[in-house]
Amino acid sequence: MAKVSIDISGGKLKAEDIIVGIDLGTTNSLIAYMEDGAPKTISDFGKGAVVPSVLYLTPEGQWLVGEEAKPYLLMDALNTVYSIKRLIGKSFSEVKELQNFLGYPLKEDLQSNTANLSIQDREFTPIELSALILKELKYRAEHRLKTPISQAVITVPAYFNDEQRNATRAAGALAGLEVLRIVNEPTAAALAYGIGVHNSGTETIAVYDFGGGTFDITLLKIEEGVFEVLSTHGDTFLGGDDIDQKIIEYWLTQNTISMNTIHEHKELGQLLRITAERAKKELDNTASFELAELSPEFPIRVSLTKVELENLAQPLVNRTLQACEHALADAGLQVSAIDKVILVGGATRLPLVKKEVASFFKLEPFDKLNPDEVVALGAAVQADILSGNRKDLLLLDVTPLSLGIETLGGVMDVLIPRNSKIPSRIARQYTTSRDGQVNFKINIFQGERELTQDNRSLGSFELRGIPAMPAGIPKLEIRFLLDADGILKVEASELRSGVHQEISIVPKKGLSDEEVEKQLMDSITYAKQDMEDRKWIELREEAKQLVLHANRFLSQHEGLFEETEMKEMKKLIEDVNQSMEQKVPSELQTKIETLNQFSQPFAEKAMDSAIKNAITGKKI
């Protein structure tokens, strides 16, 4: 139960702040708390614990949330919002293809390139609308628990990038909640099952999370209450909604209806979507589903058998299993190393999913808890850990994509590799490449490719005011601090002078869902080419520096060279320049070595001369 404290002014007992756990879902959302040491979802108003993630804007300009909004999916599709989680933290270009399938219109914010929703000639951001769902959950909890709620743990898909995590945190703040922690949904699910809590041994578990809009697979090692994430993989654009869409496309083909018709008649699109959900559920227990007439307004016949449903869903389920293979490879594990498999998310109710997961892992999965509630329950457990009530559990999560900075030639220098434990802190030293350089630009990237042009820019800033020194003398330290929510802070300092600058990465738009998966696949497909490109760039930068210093040496030490030696030195420098243009690594390497060998004796002469001048007239 919640602790109590004394209100001195009134002399009354009052409930201490309760930290709640929230699952802000694509299809449904829930809120939970701890009662007598066990997580419990909060239900109120006789409507159950689940709050549909649906919003409706009335003609009077008031928002209805949850069950009250659901009827308007058919009655007033243009002003009813659903699947908002698929839009949060993303740009318009990344979600514009959804326009044909959504009942409500999207509009691009040209200034920020975000996708806003145009409802009744007003524009709303996905953050604002997500905040309305969070406000409804907060209100229900306060009404049920009779105490103000101001702090929360909110779960997100493990594969949410930093934009989506920041946007979720912003929605929480807008709803009047201090978001103490952003927790990955699969980790929360493991906490809800209590796996590893009372077991002194070691277990390796897989959490297969197939929700309405996203898919994640997370592998965890649990030992004496320590939950260590070994790897995570997934797709933030793969879920039950996509199975529904496959069913709708199948029905459109059956009735020779084009997608343009769906776009023109929003109510028809919504009716088909709701009917697809109904068909999925009924086919759990029957062999076929059929409606002779979709509705009086739309006299369309729709039918679906269990076999047809499984054929439609199979390619999507196969994609989830491919992600499972990647997660195992990232963790360096075989399937035989997995002790337990947990199913999370509404899409796991599909018998095909359970069958394929059991076959892949060669284990019967855990599915005893309600897949819609398990994440919220786990979030409540994490909230209990943060409140200090649970000291027997510890979460060690990971970051899904590598983080680094751009170095000379556009090379990605990774500071925090993907699947690194978070929170994480790392520092690395760099220096300047030009004499007298007083500013140093730091470009921050996320991704798995060797060159920054193939990765995603997170932001940039400049370290200004570096004292003018020769190239290579300044000591520039770059520090990456990745917090427990997976949000990045970057600091830069020149260690000799103490000049300091920092930035918190709060991006304006998200990474497209296809790009998340594409980055990992491309890192494998183009691994050999990437390494060759990187080696060439590094060799070319070495050549540039050598030419720079060789020309400088010639101008400063002309007296060391005979005329023929001077000509030979200039010829060798020109040979290096030409090899750089021809982009033949082996030839350039040879030219670099030849120039180094030729110039080394002259460098030694210059050094001897400098030492001689330095000690002339001095006793040793």
Residue numbers annotated as active site = 23, 85, 185, 209
- CB 340 within 8 Å of CB 366: yes
Amino acid occupying residue 81: V
SS (H, E, C) 463-510: ECCCCCCCCCCCCEEEEEEECCCCCEEEEEEECCCCEEEEEECCCCCC
* Residue spans of alpha helices (H) in 108-239: 126-145, 162-174, 185-193
Before 423, cis peptide (omega within 30)? Answer: yes
DSSP 18: P
SS (H, E, C) 524-589: HHCHHHHHHHHHHHHHHHHHHHHHHHHHHHHHHCHHHCCHHHHHHHHHHHHHHHHHHHHCCHHHHH
Note the residue count of the chain: 620
* Residue spans of alpha helices (H) in 67-184: 72-75, 92-95, 126-145, 162-174
Q: Which two tokens stand for residue 258?
A: 């084009």
How far is it, in rounded angstroms, from Cα 374 to Cα 278?
Answer: 22
Q: Which two tokens stand for residue 615?
A: 């000690």
Q: Which two tokens stand for residue 445?
A: 């990237």
Q: Which two tokens stand for residue 544?
A: 């540039």
How far is it, in rounded angstroms, from Cα 410 to Cα 283?
Answer: 53
- CB 573 within 8 Å of CB 550: yes
- CB 184 within 8 Å of CB 157: yes
